[in-house]
Chains A and B, each alone.
Chain A
């Protein structure tokens, strides 16, 4: 995903100026995606160049207001209609680390698994604590938190399954490395 699509989505609600977009973006994503104000302005000028937003005057206090164009709306709808490809995600360092740990002498893979599980569980505890304190109606934030919670949970489940696979593997139990 790009900053571009995030801004288009926010401008679909109402025209806004740069700083307002910055604040709203932060609120909606709960700070999970830190952006600086400079990125917002750079993106806005690119969107304007591409005809996806229009400068729509100022708000009376000297703030330049931006509004979504029809082309911008089409672009936004196309995004919502297209599933996110998993292949676009960066390499998973943890998966690579565990695979490599199998062949490095002196590394106990089960300990690597357990240390990771504890660390991920602590992240999960942090996220759950934030959910416990979040307002019931803060839906955007709750959805963002749930996404992070389920991702962390998936990682722990995968680690559990790694451990099971190791324990059930005769060669691993016999200390054969590969």
Chain B
């Protein structure tokens, strides 16, 4: 089932002569297994798109569905519950609560969901283990490197039944190699059947995606689809221009 679907979604701020169209009739589907990147200049609507996809904002027109559920038909409370259960977020920074350990940060969404403390903790530990982060479980965010913090945030994004990750410049503050390890982790999750939307202004990061959607003035103007043109591991195409 399509994990995320935006159908003809527009978001207009203000009214009448001063109205500003942040997003204009955007249609986008994200299937299980897909990593989709969204690129575009500042003000092109990237963050608006992500906020709408995550139910943090509501469209002026059009429908947003997560896991087949139309968010427009839910109460604010129900949207919050669905968000907690189905969607994980990773931002550029400030992803983890500083007063909680890595494991407590990861278990928090499950506790908020009503899962008992002990069970939530066990789930968190299992998730951290799956992401190769078992050794940082009892450490506080301040004791983790930027890359470790982002990986913990990604682990949290996939706890429980969550299969949709929305990421806004998750590698923004990281060096090249660390940023790459975060993208690799997202890629691996998607290969395993999850889905992710990655907002970035860095083409090198967007290139980890199966599809790159270009926004300009709130509209989708182009899309780069990664269809294999050379078999894996085979001699590659020349990077130079003929």
Contacts and interface: CB of A to CB of B under 8 A. Distances in A.
Interface of A: 26, 30-32, 34, 92-94, 114-115, 117-130, 132-134, 145, 147-153, 156-157, 160, 163-164
Nearest to B39: A121
17 contacts: A93-B241, A114-B221, A118-B222, A119-B224, A122-B226, A124-B203, A125-B209, A125-B210, A125-B212, A125-B226, A126-B229, A128-B207, A153-B202, A153-B203, A153-B204, A157-B203, A163-B41
B1 interface: no
Contacts of A93: 241
A164 B208 CA distance: 25
Interface residues of B, number: 31
Interface in B197-225: 202-204, 206-210, 212, 214, 221-225
B239 A129 contact: no
A157 B203 CA distance: 8
A114 B235 CA distance: 28
Nearest to A125: B226
B230 interface: yes
Given A94-B241, A114-B221, A132-B184, A125 B207 contact: yes
Interface of B: 41, 184, 187, 202-204, 206-210, 212, 214, 221-226, 228-230, 232-239, 241
A133 B241 CA distance: 24
Contacts of B236: 30-32, 126-127, 130, 145, 148
Contacts of B207: 121, 124-125, 127-128, 149, 152
